[in-house]
Each structure stands twice: as C-alpha cells, then as structure tokens.
Structure 1
Amino acid sequence: MPQVPQTFDALAVRAWCGLALDALGRAREEIDAINVYPVADGDTGTNLYLTLESAATAVEAVFAGHEAGGGGDPGPTLADAVRAMAHGALIGARGNSGTILAQLLRGMAQVLAGDDAPAHADGTGLGLALRHAADSARQAVAHPVEGTVLTVASAAADAAGGAGGDCGAVARAAYEGARTALAETPDRLDVLRRAGVVDAGGRGLVAVLAALVESLTGETPRGAAARGPGPHARTGAAHTVSAPCADDDAVPRPEGPAFEVIYLLEAEDTAVARLRERLDTLGDSLVVVGGDGLWNVHVHVDDAGAAVEAGVEAGRPYRIRITHFGAGDAHAAGAERTPAERVQRAVVAVVPGEGLAGLYAEAGATAVLARPGEPPASGELVQAVRRAHAREVVLLPNDAELRHTAAAAAEQVRAEGVRVALIPTRSAVQGIAALAVHEPERRFDEDVVAMTSAAGATRYAEVTVAERQSWTMAGICQAGDVLGLVDGDVAVIGQDLTETALAVLDRMLAAGGELVTLVVGDGAPESVAERLEARVREGYLAVDTVVYDGGRQGSVLLIGVE
C-alpha cells in the first residue's frame, strides 16, 4: 500500500487535487451526457474539470514557489495549499456547477486556513471543513433546489460529522453519504426522474470525494470506478441517460433565460449584496461566490447587457463570458432536451468591451471578452466553442493579434469532431458585419463565405490615446496624443479626440461606403457620436450610420465602413 498521510496537510491537498482532476477527466463525458438541470447544455463535466484544473494549477504553483527556495524551505503549509486551491477554483470557475464547486472549496479553506487552524487537520477538523463548505455553497445560491449538488454536499457533510475517527474515516463517510444522496436525486427533482439520470453536478462531487478518500487512504472507495458512482436508484440499477417518456409531451415546457453570464468581479461586500438583489430580478440560476474583494458571478438572463451593467455598477467586472443557449433549448426546471443533442451551428466571437459582449450575445453569438492587456488564451476559446455545443462553429477573433491563438483553438476543437471555420476578422466592427449576414439555415460553406465577404468588405478604424512616446506611420506621437488608426496603422495624430475622429471618418469615407458603424467606449466625449453622425448626414449622401455602446473597451472609438 502506498504511503498516505494520516492527517490532512498540504501534501494531501496536492494529492487530492491531482486525483480529483484525473477522476473528473475520466468521467467528464459521462457527466456532460447526464446534464439536464438547470440547463440541458451538456457541459457540467467539462465545467467541473476546468474549475478543478485551475485549482490544481494554483496548488502546484505554491509548491513550485517553495521548491525554488532550496532544501531549507519546509514547503507550503496546509493554509497555503487550501487558500491556493480555493483561489484557483474561484478565478477559474466555469458554469453553474463549477461556481458551486469553487464555493465548496472556499468553504473548506475558510475553516482549514483560519487564524486558529492547525498545521495539520485531523478528522474533526476535516468534518468541520466539509460542513462549512456545504453550508456556504447553499448560501451562495439565490434559490437552492433539492436534488442537486447542494443536496449531495449536505449529505456528505452530515455523514462526515457523525463519523468520528481519523481523516480517512471521515472522508469515507462523506463519500458514502454523498453517494447515497446522489442515487436519491431523481426522487427529489422531477426533471432528473423524467430523464432517467442522477444530478450531473452531484455526480461530479461524488468523484471529487472519492479522490479525497484515495488521497488519504491510498484506496479507491467502493463504487468509485472510472465510469460511475454506483447505483442510480434504490433498486441498484446503473444510472442511464434516456429520452423523456412519451407522456412528457404533455408536460408544459416554458422557455427560460437565453444567456448564461459569468464574470469575475472586484467589489466590496455591500455592493455585492445589492448586486445579488439586482441580478435576482433579471434571471435565475444565480450563484455569487467569493469574498475579500473578489467574486465569481454566475446567472442566466434574457438581457445579458443588463447583467454586465449591474456588475459595472457594483465594481470592476472582468473575464466576462456570455453564452447563448441556442434557439429551441429548454431552460426551466420542468423542461429538458436529450442531453447529447447539439445545435447545428454557432458563432463564437472575441469582443473588446462589455457593451459589445451584450450586443454579440443578443445576436446569438457566444462572446469572449478581451480586456486591454488580457487577451484570451487558446484554452478559453476552446472552452467557449465547447460551450456553444454545436456541430458547426464560426470563430471570429476580431483582432489581428489573436489570429494564431484562434487558429490553435480551432485546430484543437476540430480534433474533437466539431467543424470550425475561422474568419480572420481584425476588428469587432468586421465581426458585426459578418454576424449581420449570418444565416444558420444556409449550408455551412455558403454561410462562412457570406460572413467572410461581409467582414472583408468592412474597413475598420479606431481612435485611442497614446500611452507613451513612439514612432508611427504618421510620425512621432507623445503620451496623451490622440491616435487615429486605419486598418491597423496610425494615420492621424491629434490633440482633440472628436476632431481626430472626424479626420479618420473623412479619410475612410473618401473611398466610398454605404454604412458607418460607430462603437463608442466609456472614455469618449458625450457629443462625439452626434458629431460623427452629423458629418455623415451633411457630407455623404446615401450613407447610413448605426451607433453602439461599447462600454469599457480598449479603444475610445471603433469605426467601421461598409
């Protein structure tokens, strides 16, 4: 039998994260397949895996930092390890299930890394940590529902609290309690019973707790095989995925919110309390987790822009992800679709600001927010394509510097059997033009050609403020100068933002055009859009103008001419 810790310490945390990540990796497709609640979008397993991957990466980084200190470094403490685990899960949380898992880990960390916490937790301490984890996760959900991962977590904590003994015994009890509760989830939630499955989030938590047992005892617990947590129901039959019964056709299927909105938020506790109230009026599946100034916000809404604006009012939202669930999806507790079903086609786009994220999402695209200095990595684009849950995906990078990143993401997803077309859009206004002609009913190749043609026929420009002195195509600029870039190159250097924008617009329309698109950022003067619209009306006949609010975007103004 391998050497295993007798208490829960930093090495046990490290081992637990690694084993849990392996377990979720093996079970990911199975968990995705049984995902019918709260939305049947087939991504719970993937979201749990990515959330735990972020937690495990953070723990490994803590160990690497101590190992770099040399032989005299005693290594990280339990508090160091669990804090890293909780923080990594918080910033990497994906979806409803991942956000709840992040809060479970944070709840454990609050007990195990407190001021009075010991260097090594015994069975009693681990039990208390599991209890606080379950309670804090339930408090983070606006409207807790029984028969979900919350029920499974509470059952695990109840069993752990009555177990006694060392950490291994407590972990075994928690696992068995969770496993039993998971088998009973179809009895508690009708949507699970009709689909013939157990709760996907609960299934993932059982896998995580099985890994906890293995990390503390060196033994794989009963029923924790790679492909299943044990019996589905009291009869002992294995849980399965099945189509709804024939009489389900008579069940009302009200449509729910169209978008999932997730973002990290830097904000004070009082502002987050108001944010919860605001988001609760906008949609459902609201989960807000975190603390100490950093929060992860998850909600399903019809108005994605309003959900992001609520975050802006509360603090500084970033890493914003907006996913359109797709036409015809069912999103309410009484509605489900076949878990493995995919929509035919989706659009995934990188956008530079919250306003455009909402605009793209309302047009049916999955939007990935790119903040200045924080471009999305290929892994984030891969996850966005997966969340689109489509057989065919059109990918719009909307930035020349993201083309290679997007190409790498497209190649990875193609290996998973998804047909992906990368349209090399270099600006969000080119993406808007492509999205305007997007028709999912057309053949994929025809749709991609039409979108590519529309993007290519759109000249793009931006107005921004120089951060430092530098050489440009238009001469030397100083910090604070206003720069007008046309097709990526500096064409105008000015002192007044509106006058520079007018000069850029005139230069672009000198070559002709039928439609001007203006995306106005938060830093733009209030009158700039009116001045530009007036210039088009007065100087360029038969040219239309459309104006969008870009929110906090890298450039003060984006201009597109078709």
Structure 2
Amino acid sequence: MPYPLDAAAVRAWCGLALEALGRERARIDAINVYPVADGDTGTNLYLTLESAARAVEAAFDGHAAAGTAPRLADALGAMAHGALIGARGNSGTILAQLLRGMTEVLAATDGPGGADADALRRALRRAAESAYAAVEHPVEGTVLTVATAAAAGAERARGEVVEVARAACAQARTALRATPGQLAVLGRAGVVDAGGCGLVALLGALADALSGEVSAAPVAVRADAPLPVAAGSAAAAGCGAGDPPDAEGPAFEVIYLLEAGDAAVARLRTRLDGLGDSLVVVGGDGLWNVHVHVDDAGAAVEAGIEAGRPYRIRITHFGGTARMKEPEMAARAVVAVVPGDGLAGLCAGAGATAVTTRPGEPPASGELVQAIRQAHAREVMLLPNDPGLRHTAAAAAEEARTEGVRVALIPTRSAVQGLAALAVHEPARSFDEDVVAMTSAAGATRYAELAVAERQSWTMAGICQAGDVLGLIDGDVAVIGADLARTAMTVLDRMLSAGGELVTLVLGADAPAALGRRLERYVRERHLAVDTVVYEGGQHAAPLLIGVE
C-alpha cells in the first residue's frame, strides 16, 4: 500500500537510494565522460548520499533520545544538510542543491500527514530551478536536463503522491535516454549522462519508498543498454562507451565548504568563474559548498579565504591537463590527509592529492579510497598524518589493494612528518626504496603542536587550566604555559636539545601574524646551525605545528 511523504518515507528513501547507487555506481563511473572523464560520478553520488543518510539517522536518533518523533521538515532538512557538507564532485554538489530545493518547498508544507502530491510537484520544480541557478554555465544533456524533465513529468501526473513520484522517475528516464543526442561528448562516447543516471536512481528510490514496493526494473539506465541517439551521430556510427573524448581542461578539482554571506559568495562566483570551469556553488543561510576546476588550486582556495571561512578543502589533481575517458595511469602518486587549506595547497603543489580535515570531522575510509582512485596511479603512498587515522587509513589501503592498486601506508603521525616524507618522495625509485625513504624521513622528524586547553585537566606535565597553552611533543603534553610564543620557544629548546638541522613551523589559522618571524629569529639566535622554514598551514585545531629533522 502507498505510504505518505513524511519523515519515515525520507528515511526509507535514503536507504533505498543508497542501495541503488551502491549497485549502480560502478556502471555510472564507467559512463562518466562529462564534465571530466575521470570515472567517479557514481562514487561521488554514493558518498554524497551516504553523508545525507548518516545525517537523517542522526536526526532520528536525536529525536528518539528526546522522546519525540521527527517531522518531514526535520528529516528532509537533515538529508539536505548532510548532502551539502558531504558533497563530492560536480555531480554530488548538484545533487545537494536538488535536495535543498525540494526541502525549501516540502518543509514549508509539512502537515500531520506529510506533504501532498501538489507539494511534491512544486518541490521537484524548485529543485530543478535551484540546481540550474547553482551552476555558473548550465549545459543541456546533463543532470540539469533530467531534473527539469522530472519536474515536468510530476506536473502532468494525477493522483496521489506516489503517482507523482513514479511519473517524475519515468519522465527522467526518458530524458536520460535522449542525452546522447543533446551533448556531443556523450554522443561520441555512446553513453548517457552519468549524473542524470544517478538522478534516475534517486527518483526511483523515492517512488519505491512511497509505494512500499521495490521496482523489479533497473533503477538506472545501464551503460550497456541500447541508447537512442540522433542519426549520423558518432554513437550511431558505431562509437562505443570506451571511445574517449578529446576534451582538455584544468588540472585540479577544488571543493570546500564555505561560511560566508550572500554578497561575498556572489563576488566569489565571479572570481572563480575567471579562474576555471565547472563552477557550482550550492547552499545558503551562511553555509555553501563550492566546486570548481582550475589550474591554480591555491588561487581558488585564496578566493574562498577572501570570501569567508573555507574548510574541509579537497584538492584533486587530474593527472595533467588532458582529460580522457580512461585517465592515463601515473606510475606512482601520493595521497595525504592534512588539517588545513595551506597544507593542502603545499601538497597539491608537490603533485599530491590532498584530503583536508576539520576538527571533529575525520575522513571516512571511503573518502580515502576515493582519493586513492582519483590519484589515477598504479602505486600510491598514503600519508594519514594523524595517529587516530591509522585504522581508517589501513582499511582504505586494503580496499584499494583489492582494486589492483599497490598502496603503501606511510606511518606519519603529524602533518610535519608528512611534509618530510613528501620532500623525499621520488617516483623514479623502486616502490620499496621509495617506501623506505619516505618512512625514514617521517621517522627522523620529531613533531610537536601547540594547543589551548579547553578545561582543567591532568597532563603528563602537571595540571592545566582552561586557556593554558599546551606544548605537546610526540603526542604528549610536555610544556604548560600562558603565552603562545614563549611556550613555543620552550618546546623548540627541548626538541633541539637532542640535535636537529631543520625546523619546520606550520602556522594555524588563528596564529598571530608575527609568530612565524619571531620564532624563526629565536631559532637563528639560539641554535646557530639550524635552518627554519615557515608555512601558512591554515589548520584550526592547533595554532602551531613544529617539526624538527
């Protein structure tokens, strides 16, 4: 029997959509030729929905703990927010905006029995319109076209809310099958749009959640299905899904969450549009997800810093400016987890794929597996740069190995150890020799960080009070002080008492502007034979990271 469109239906929708994308993501990855033929659209959609589903479950858990039941607005709001903060790639970012558009309508029409058929019609139209507005240069034959067709199908449908969902899915599927005739790159490759394929899966899951019956038909048009294309097109002439397009484009994909106002985001759009392509900015109410392809990743991040507060920055190197259906596999690559945008820029500049974290939000193993895939290399050096990520990184490495990638987990416990390992990385060496060299460089680097105590507590250096500056050496509190610079000097003296040739200082987002110069001068005066380098790391958890080699 049909079910109402309420909070329980949203929960069921998330679960069914995740199952559908899990089944279809490899096929969707395989037909990904636009806007970048990097074979990850299915995976990006899956990871985005996974984040949305986690948020919905958290909302239900929170209401259960309070002894209340979530309403439709609660579940949909959680789903949209989860997708926004977890959006991956161009497709995941657009999906987040589609969900936000639906939420804007359905949350406002939430009644005791959930939303009605008319509300769903208006929600799907709003979703399509908001997605178009989020993409700087919309292109037909993509997920945007499929979303618009879904809205039109819903508006023509009569009956209950489940019939509207079914009609939207059916019209989306029809529109999807026509995409090779609308977008030349799809026609040449003989495939449908990958993002649109994922949207059909999502709409099919919604119809299933409302009907209570899982459809026996495939939830997505498969890459190997016969595709109607325009007569005379390359696909009609015999080109198959394996034929690569000749497109070229920027070398980096940059994604970050941004806390900023509407006016600042409008200026950011203009700035990023001049830097690259595939620009999508979604969100609102002070929180945005920014996606762009650029050659200058640092400039894209700097533009975000000027607009507001960017975090969870992900910079992916496409492996060169040529973008092909099957990206040329590099011999060896490095994937590094880092806690700040400045560190991400340093890693990207050295050719590594960076996964940026935020305090309290460590990456899941799936994120690291995706980063390893996006490195497009036969061999990968994985730098977790945090002892707390050891098990997560090990699980990611093991999964990547099952896909044929040779992965070495370099035991870096801090970002400064990761920088030391990256500095000696040499792809021309044998894999084993490179592992030994990077591991040795990391192990030869003592690390420290300065943090501010949040509460009174016992430490190995004694009792600290809230607001005290803590100097942690190799993970243990060694110094308690009242002043950031003086505590850092004490930490440096202790670390250099055992010798050292190079000090690396990584300044956090909240570090005083003159701190780096002051500490560099202190090392030069007190430890004459030691060199010092200073980086703007941008990390928020610690105002200063220190490495001694």
Normalised by the length of structure 1, the TM-score is 0.87
Alpha-carbon separation, structure 1, partners of 2:469 and 2:263:
38
Does residue 338 (structure 1) correspond to residue 320 (structure 2)? The answer is: no
Asked whether the equivalents of residues 30 and 227 of structure 1 are also in contact (C-alpha less than 8 Å), the reply is no
- 1:232 is aligned to 2:230: no
Stretch of structure 1 that moved more, 551-560 or 472-481 = 472-481
Q: Secondary structure at the match of 1:483?
A: strand
2:261 maps to what in 1? 268
CA distance in 2, matches of 1:77, 1:373: 28
The answer (yes or no) to whether the contact 1:520–1:547 under 8 Å persists in 2 is yes
1:451 CA displacement: 0.8
Q: CA deviation at 1:386?
A: 3.6
> Which residue in the other structure is 1:109 paired with?
103
Letter in 2 for 1:380: E
Residues 495 and 119 of structure 1: is their aligned pair in 2 closer, same or farther, counting only changes over 3 Å? same
Name the counterpart of 1:295: 288
* Worse-superposed segment, 203-212 or 50-59: 50-59
1:308 aligns with 2:297: no
After alignment, is 550-559 or 34-43 more displaced?
550-559
CA contact (8 A) 2:72 2:110 kept: no
SS state of the match for residue 108, structure 2?
coil
Following superposition, the deviation at residue 153 of structure 1 comes to 1.0
- Find 2:93's aligned residue among 96, 99, 117: 99
Given the alignment, which residue of 393, 396, 406 partners 1:409? Answer: 396
CA distance 1:59–1:524, shift in 2 (3 Å): closer
- Matched residue, 1:146: 140
What SS class does the counterpart of residue 548 from structure 1 fall into? strand
Amino acid at match of 1:358: G
How many angstroms apart in 2 are the aligned matches of 1:57 and 1:537?
50
2:274 is aligned with 1:281: yes
TM superposition shift of 1:228 = 2.1
CA deviation vs aligned residue, 1:433-453 (integer Å, no higher than 9, x gap): 111111233322222111111
Query: In 1, Cα distance between the equivalents of 2:25 and 2:380?
Result: 22
Say which SS state the counterpart of residue 147 (structure 1) adopts.
coil
- CA shift in 2, pair 1:448/1:391, >3 Å: same
Secondary structure of the structure 2 residue equivalent to 1:367: strand
Residue 259 to residue 328, structure 1, CA distance change in 2 (3 Å): closer
Listed as ranges, the matches of 1:338-417 within 5 Å are: 338=326, 342-417=329-404
Aligned residue among 42, 47, 72 for 2:44: 47
Does structure 2 conserve the Cα–Cα contact (< 8 Å) formed by 1:104 and 1:137? Answer: yes
What are the ranges of 5 or more consecutive residues in structure 2 without an aligned counterpart? Answer: none
CA 376–281 in structure 1, closer or farther in 2 if over 3 Å, else same:
same
Task: Give the SS at the match of 1:393.
Answer: strand
Aligned to 1:10: 7
Alpha-carbon distance in 2 for matches of 1:65, 1:207? 29
8 Å contact from structure 2 (residues 198, 220) kept in 1: no
After TM superposition, the structure 1 stretch with the greater mean CA deviation from structure 2, 235-244 or 442-451, is 235-244
Q: For 1:533, which of 507, 510, 520 is the aligned residue?
A: 520
Partners of 2:64 and 2:520 lie apart in 1 by 60
Distance 1:177 1:483, change over 3 A: same
Q: After superposition, what is the alpha-carbon deviation per residue over 1:246-297, rounded to whole angstroms, capped at 9, x for unaligned?
A: xx7xx5x54x222222222233323322222232223221111112232222
Q: Is this contact kept in 1: 2:416–2:447, CA < 8 A?
A: yes
Higher mean C-alpha deviation, range 137-146 or range 222-231: 222-231
Q: CA deviation at 1:201?
A: 0.4
Q: Identity percentage over the alignment?
A: 73
Equivalent residue, structure 1, for 2:157? 163
Closer/same/farther in 2, CA of residues 228 and 220 from structure 1, 3 Å limit: farther
Instruction: Kindly indicate whether the alpha-carbon contact (under 8 Å) linking 1:329 and 1:337 is maintained by their aligned counterparts in 2.
Output: no
In the alignment, is residue 548 of structure 1 matched against residue 535 of structure 2?
yes
Q: 1:395 to 1:319 in 2, by over 3 A?
A: same
**Cα distance in 2 between the residues matched to 1:58 and 1:464:** 30
Partner of 2:425: 438
- Encode CA deviations 1:194-217: one digit per residue, 9 max, x unaligned: 222211101111122222333334
Question: Equivalent of 2:24, from 24, 27, 31?
Answer: 27
Contact 2:461 2:478 in 1 (8 A): yes
Alpha-carbon distance, 1:234 to partner: 4.2
d(CA) in 2 for partners of 1:357 and 1:140?
25
Contact residue 166 and residue 207 of structure 2 kept, 8 A: yes
Alignment deviations for residues 418-459 of structure 1 (CA, whole Å, 9 cap, x no partner): 322111112111100111111233322222111111111222
Q: 1:225 to 1:287 in 2, by over 3 A?
A: closer
CA separation of 1:175/1:479 partners in 2, compared to 1, >3 Å: closer, same or farther? closer
Q: 1:421 & 1:129 partners in 2: Cα distance?
A: 47
1:137 and 2:135 aligned: no
Q: Matched residues in 1 for 2:278 and 2:106: separation?
A: 29
The answer as to whether partners of 2:39 and 2:325 remain within 8 angstroms in 1 is: no
User: 1:22–1:420: structure 2 CA closer, same or farther, 3 Å change rule?
Assistant: same
Give how far 1:138 is off. 0.6
The Cα offsets for residues 500-519 of structure 1, whole Å up to 9 and x where unpaired, read as 33333333334333322221
Residue 67 (structure 1) shift: 5.4
Could you tell me whether the CA contact under 8 Å between 1:324 and 1:388 is conserved in 2? yes
Q: Is the 8 A contact 2:416 2:546 kept in 1?
A: yes
Residue identity in the other structure for 2:505: L
Contact 1:33–1:241 (Cα < 8 Å) also in 2: no
Q: In structure 2, how many angstroms separate the alpha carbons of the residues matched to 1:484 and 1:517?
A: 15
Distance 1:518 1:68 in 2: 44
CA distance in 2, matches of 1:375, 1:548: 23
> Aligned partners of 2:229 and 2:213: how far apart in 1?
25
User: Aligned pair 1:204/2:198, yes or no?
Assistant: yes
1:155: Cα distance to partner? 1.6
Q: CA deviation at 1:188?
A: 2.0
One-letter amino acid of the structure 2 residue matched with residue 459 of structure 1: R
Q: Does 1:85 align with 2:79?
A: yes
CA spacing shift, 1:241–1:446, aligned 2, 3 Å? farther
State yes or no: 1:506 paired with 2:497. Answer: no
Distance 1:241 1:100, change over 3 A: farther
Root mean square deviation of aligned Cα: 3.0
Give the secondary-structure state (helix, strand or coil) at the position aligned to 2:140.
coil
Alignment equivalent of 2:416, drawn from 417, 429, 432: 429
Distance (Å, rounded) in 1 between the aligned partners of 2:376 and 2:2: 41
Give 1:323-334 correspondences, 5 Å limit.
323-327=316-320, 329-330=322-323
Q: Aligned in 2, Cα 1:82/1:241: closer, same or farther, shift over 3 Å?
A: farther
CA shift digits 1:10-54 (9 cap, x unpaired): 343333322222211110100011112111221110111121222
Residue 178 of structure 1 is aligned with which of 164, 172, 176? 172
The aligned length equals 544
TM-score when scaled to structure 2?
A: 0.89
- Give the match for residue 188 of structure 2: 194
| Deviation, structure 1 residue 117 | 6.5
Give 1:241 shift: 5.5
Q: Name the CA distance, whole Å, in 2 between partners of 1:42 and 1:93.
A: 16
User: What letter is aligned with 1:106?
Assistant: R
Take 2:58 and 2:488, find their aligned partners in 1: how far apart are those partners?
Answer: 46
